[in-house]
Amino acid sequence: VSIMRGCDNFCAYCIVPYTRGREVSRASSAIIGEVESLAASGVKEITLLGQNVNSYGRRSGGKEVDGATELSFTGLLKGVSGVKGIERVRFVTSHPKDISEELILLFGSEPALVRHLHLPLQSGSDAVLKRMGRGYTSGEYMEKIEKLKKLYSDMAFTTDIIVGFPGETDEDFESTMDIIKLVRFDNIFSFKYSPRPGTPASDLPDQLPEEVKSKRLAILQRLQREISMEQNISLVGQKKRVFIEGRSRNDAMEVTGRTPCNRVVNLKAPLELKGSIIDVLITDAFSNSLRGRYLGGDAQC
Ligand code: SF4
């Protein structure tokens, strides 16, 4: 469910504020109404979408706008989580500078809010973050991650990284690798920097050669594959609640689903379980997915 569009951040490499315009939040009542209709038609999991989703309602700040009470982002999350029939609520994509204390605490008090946060880091180097215009330092990013990890040991993190931003040195790249080792993300969406015409970064000096960008990307992705594998292996033997999404793409005899932390699990189970949340024992791990065993019983929600 889209809750806002546009973006006010103007990161140096991004075209979004120019193509989609400035940030506009939808009315809270319209969003909750849409979620209620989806729930009435059987939907159990909702993902709230926005370019900068966690700055939702920043202008209204949970106050009255045009005669209607507009909720803050955490207020909206509570409202959506409270809709009858909604079992899981996610949101994407968050900006690190807009992760509030209230949002951090909500992961502990709102059972439907899954403990998975996609939080784009982009670079671990403060110099690069500054040139990107991201509005936070690596220390501020880590402070939020550490707070969340301390409160919720089962919290999963994913991120976006751009390698080879103009002027990125070997040391800058190493700073990114250091944060990847520290956070141990479940998954990383990593890209080589490519200039977008009309953005300030495309005019920056010190554009990096393609070979340097490719080499750094390969190093980063190798490290992440190892971490993802280790993270997945640590789940073998655990019982997870899995939302069955449909038939597995790789094996017609299997179904596929997701854990609350958004990990893909494939297992042998009847296709009629599609749309159900069932108990699954994790039996095997791969770098991008898990295998499980349906524990049977009355696990349907
Ligand atoms: Fe906005 Fe994200 Fe683009 Fe930055 S990268 S300008 S936060 S949409």
Is any ligand 1 atom within 6 A of the Cβ of residue 95?
Answer: yes
Q: Are 160 and 96 in contact (CB under 8 A)?
A: no
Q: Are 135 and 160 in contact (CB under 8 A)?
A: no
Among the atoms of ligand 1, which is closest to the Cα of residue 7?
1
pLDDT tens digit sequence for 31-50: 999 999 999 999 999 999 99
pLDDT band at 70 (very low <50, low <70, confident <90, very high): confident
pLDDT tens digit sequence for 267-299: 999 999 999 999 999 999 998 899 999 997 544
Instruction: Name the residue with the closest Cα to ligand 1, atom 3.
Output: 14
Ligand 1 pocket, mutate which of 11, 49, 95, 99 (most atoms under 8 A from CB)? 11
CA dist 117 and 107 (Å) reads 10
pLDDT tens digit sequence for 142-170: 999 999 999 999 999 999 999 999 999 99
Strand, helix or coil for residue 143? helix
Q: Is the pLDDT of residue 211 over 90?
A: yes
Is any ligand 1 atom within 6 A of the Cβ of residue 14?
Answer: yes
Is any ligand 1 atom within 6 A of the Cβ of residue 16?
Answer: yes
Is any ligand 1 atom within 6 A of the Cβ of residue 17?
Answer: yes
Distance 268 CA to ligand 1 centre (A): 40
Say what the pLDDT of residue 296 is. Answer: 79
Say what the pLDDT of residue 17 is. Answer: 92
Both structure tokens of 47: 């993902």
CA dist 271 and 263 (Å) reads 19
Instruction: Name the residue with the closest Cα to ligand 1, atom 7.
Output: 9
pLDDT band at 300 (very low <50, low <70, confident <90, very high): very low
Ligand 1 pocket, mutate which of 5, 9, 55, 161 (most atoms under 8 A from CB)? 9
Is any ligand 1 atom within 6 A of the Cβ of residue 11?
Answer: yes
Q: What residue type is 7 in one-letter code?
A: C
Q: Is the pLDDT of residue 237 over 60?
A: yes
Nearest to residue 128, comparing CAs of 87, 80, 74, 174? Answer: 174
Is any ligand 1 atom within 6 A of the Cβ of residue 10?
Answer: yes
Strand partners, 190: 161
Distance 15 CA to ligand 1 centre (A): 8
Say what the pLDDT of residue 287 is. Answer: 84
pLDDT tens digit sequence for 76-125: 999 999 999 999 999 999 999 999 999 999 999 999 999 999 999 999 99
Q: Is the pLDDT of residue 243 over 60?
A: yes
Distance 299 CA to ligand 1 centre (A): 40
Strands 45-49 and 116-118, how do they pair? unpaired
Please tell me the total number of residues recorded for the chain in this structure. 301
Average pLDDT, the chain: 93
Distance 47 CA to ligand 1 centre (A): 19
Is any ligand 1 atom within 6 A of the Cβ of residue 9?
Answer: yes
Distance 255 CA to ligand 1 centre (A): 35
Ligand 1 pocket, mutate which of 8, 14, 97, 130 (most atoms under 8 A from CB)? 14
Q: Is the pLDDT of residue 61 over 90?
A: no
